[in-house]
Amino acid sequence: MDSPEVQASPMMDFLTWLEVNKKRLVQTSLIAAIAGLGIYIWVYQRNQSEAEASTALFAVQVPAGGAVGKLATASDLLRVASQHGGTAAGERATLLGASALFAEGKFNEAKTNFEKFLAAHPESLLSATASLGVAASLDSLNETDKATTEYRKVIASYPNDLAAAQARLALAALYETKGQPDEARKLYDQLTGVGQAGFWREEAVSRREALPAKPLLPLAPFPSNNSPTPPKNNK
């Protein structure tokens, strides 16, 4: 059987180590506590910022005692975006502000703000809508070549997003105005294919039916019995 001295030695070793490293342990614990408190404060403040931003955005969209159906102005929305940058509500306010500028017919300003959104939030789930906004703004400014390029970018970059369907319809309409019904027909066919459904498919079907029919190719002349027989080459 081990002696009491031998049994106590591990505990004595631990107490000795604790005494030697007590200061370092206290410092480590203090640092961990401060870090944890800092994270808590950051999360709390972020939650507070998100809540305040959401409240501000809601306030301009549904003003107290405001008329039902009254739309928020672009200036109100962009003010919320400026005051609450870095929040999800501020991000939405930026896009809504650009959309409001478009609705107000301020297409140059709308384009600028859609582009600002894309620069600030390149990975946003709303980037497809912002890209479509750039294309639509150029379209409304009659910059058809640039608009065509941007619509194609939307289709290529966000093939499964609703914005791609809208881009196809808008691009097809551009082709129609350019007198290129065959190009428009290709886009309408894509929207009426397998996997497409809803309003955009129905709209594509309607527009496709309104396109002029493809001209029939002329038939090659068929030789008749009265056709002159070529002279024989007698050798």
- The C-alpha atoms of residue 95 and residue 78 are separated, in whole angstroms, by 9
Which has more pLDDT, 59 or 2?
Answer: 59
Give the pLDDT score at 136.
94
**Would you say residue 105 has pLDDT above 60?**
yes
Domains of the chain: 125-210 (1.25.40.10)
b/e map 99-134, b = 16+ CB within 10 Å: bbbbeeebbebbbebbbbbbeeeeebebbbbbbbbb
> How far is 219 from 21, CA to CA, in rounded Å?
100
What confidence tens digit (pLDDT) does each residue in 132-181 have? 999 999 999 999 999 999 999 999 999 989 899 999 999 999 999 999 99
pLDDT digits (tens, 9 = 90+) for 27-64: 665 555 555 545 544 444 456 666 766 676 676 765 54
* Stretch 14-29: mean pLDDT: 61
Answer yes or no: are the C-beta atoms of 117 and 94 closer than 8 Å: yes
Stated pTM of the model? 0.68
The per-residue DSSP string of 32-96 comes to HHHHHHHHHHHHHHHHHHHHHHHHHHHHHHS-TTPPTTPPPPHHHHHHHHHHTTTSHHHHHHHHH
Residue 108: the pLDDT is 96
Largest CA distance in the chain: 135
The SS3 call for residue 1 is: coil
- pLDDT 10s digits, 185-233: 999 898 887 566 578 788 888 888 888 877 645 555 555 555 555 555 5
171: Cβ–Cβ under 8 A, 6 or more apart, which residues? Answer: 148, 151, 152, 155, 187
Is the CB of residue 95 less than 8 Å from the CB of residue 130? yes
- CB atoms inside a 10 Å sphere around CB 22: 10
Q: Rounded distance, CA 20 to CA 42, Å?
A: 35
What pLDDT is recorded for position 93? 86
SS3 state at 159: coil
